[in-house]
Structure 1
Amino acid sequence: MKPWFKKRINTKGTNRYYELVKQWWAREMNRITSGLSREKLIAFLLVFTGFSSAISLSILYRGLVSGTSPVVSMERISVQVHLHERRIKRASKSFFISPREYKSITGARQYLDSLKGSAEGKKTYDSIILGRPGFLDSLFFIENYYKSNVKE
């Protein structure tokens, strides 16, 4: 059977310091209240619980009785776009690939795919991929862009 009230100290990071502060606070409160009689401790406990209950009930009452809640106004946040950002956006919208360029790109991709078939071709393919990282990704992106923007 596991002990339910076993004292556990977590030695990892901030939890360790939290446990140390908790133990320090318990020792201090024990030291402060050690001289009080049982009747005084019960009186303090009743005052504390009564005060806490009164605060909780007042919060609950205000929440139930208040008819309307204040309206929160929301305004649109506008961020100014700098001139150079506008130029970049316009330039990216006017990106155009001609059908001839698209055929040459697909031809290059087919050539690279055909290189994988032989041992000599595999060496050439690997040297191209190592020399130009991201080349295949660029070809794939351009092909998808062309397909999504041009209706064949």
Structure 2
Amino acid sequence: MKTENNTMMWTLFKKLKKEPIISVENSHSRFDIPMKFYLFVQDKWSKKMSDIASRLSKKKLVCSLGLFVILAGGICIYGISRSFINTAKDCIKIIPISEPMDAIGKSFVLNPKPFPISQKEFERIARFRMYLDSLGRSPIGKRAFDSIIGLRPGLMDSLVFIENYYKSNCKN
């Protein structure tokens, strides 16, 4: 029984053999070279900082840590306090949204604007649209219709929109 305990004890205190870590590199990555450069710079920086820190005494390390904490904390407190101070030149002016005089919209009806198209112009537009429709339906005029639509792709849509807009806003 004593030998079993000894072997169990030795297994607890026995040094573990470290296996070498095998790194898998992806040679197809386009970030391969910048990543290697970044790791190289990071390694150099850490070695330089550990070399500098190894030369300092414990008292100087604690003082430099305290100085760093005070400096970083001061910068954070300055940034936070600066956001609460309202200076006229640096702030964005917020204009409150106001409601219209009447929520129903009667003010828009009281001051109607004259309609931009007269009755004669509307009739000319409607006749032109009907002409283009008939031109597109006939086999002879199909080529002319296609060339017009090819040069002015949104013409038919615009004509239909104007006609619908005029009919919905004018009761003639």
Q: TM-score, normalised by structure 1?
A: 0.46
Q: Please identify the structure whose Cα radius of gyration is greater.
A: 2
